[in-house]
Structure 1
């Protein structure tokens, strides 16, 4: 019985606490939250993670196979990609990456929410496209993370 309690306590600790990643300055974050149109021929991606389940976990994000960085609660990334193209946004999960395919149009911004979900050993992560109104409201409450190295 004691072993089971220890295992449950260790597993629970993975979903408590708070992970952190390097953050951009307030000025850079504020500029991104103006939601300006992307540069000519490009689309903008706001990839974000709110608080909730799995606050102690950091999860990698890739765009078209390129590492964007690790996520933590209450942060976002902004990345411009070629418009009028399909892009693959991937997140690290428990056993294999979870992918979201997104067809973009030049001049538009897109909002992708990363969410944590329970796993067998550690929490997993998923991605979902959200509408502009919800995405802007969510990102407005978050701070921008520095792009960096993924854990894998």
Structure 2
């Protein structure tokens, strides 16, 4: 009976934490530049997508913007890019059974937006969700020394 409980606890822990993995990171210079929170170019908005989950720290999850790969996340990474403002965009992340989408209907030129990707419990593997955060909270998390800019453009699927 103790073995069954131990194996069940181990499987639950693996489901919550995933397998150890990493994603490619940008250079220190690019990281610091993005963390300076630059004002986006005229006609564009800044988009920060970050992850700071306790659950599923090492699970890799893809992020897509308007159907194009932004990159793959793990805990304590973020992506930054400028997007055309004033037009609708859809940010998506993979989940256990289907993508989770977050519409960005009308972004304002010159403004930065912060989206938090979080991991949630699933039946077989942790899923992911997205939520729009306040600028103050997004900057607070992204500015942490251990949070790093990831190199974009590579998704698993």
TM-score by length of 2: 0.90
Q: Provide the C-alpha distance between the structure 1 equivalents of 2:49 and 2:67, rounded to a whole number of angstroms.
A: 15
Q: Give the secondary-structure state (helix, strand or coil) at the position aligned to 1:37.
A: coil
Matching residue within 121, 131, 137 for 1:118: 121
> After alignment, is 128-137 or 5-14 more displaced?
5-14
- 1:108 maps to what in 2? 111
Determine the C-alpha separation between the residues in 2 that align with 1:126 and 1:100.
9
Q: Distance in 1 between matches of 2:23 and 2:125?
A: 19
List aligned pairs for 1:30-49, cutoff 5 A.
Answer: 30-49=32-51
Alignment of 1:15 with 2:16, yes or no, is yes
Does the CA contact (< 8 Å) of 1:18 and 1:73 recur in 2? Answer: no
Query: Residue 3 of structure 1: CA displacement?
Result: 5.8
Alpha-carbon offset, residue 106 of structure 1: 1.2
Matches within 5 A, 1:1-150: 5-16=6-17, 18-102=20-104, 103-141=106-144, 142-150=147-155
Unaligned 5+ segments in structure 2 are none
Unaligned runs of 5+ in 1: none
Contact 2:85 2:107 in 1 (8 A): yes
Across the two proteins, how many residue pairs are aligned to each other? 152
Runs of 4+ in 1 over 3 A off after TM superposition: 1-8
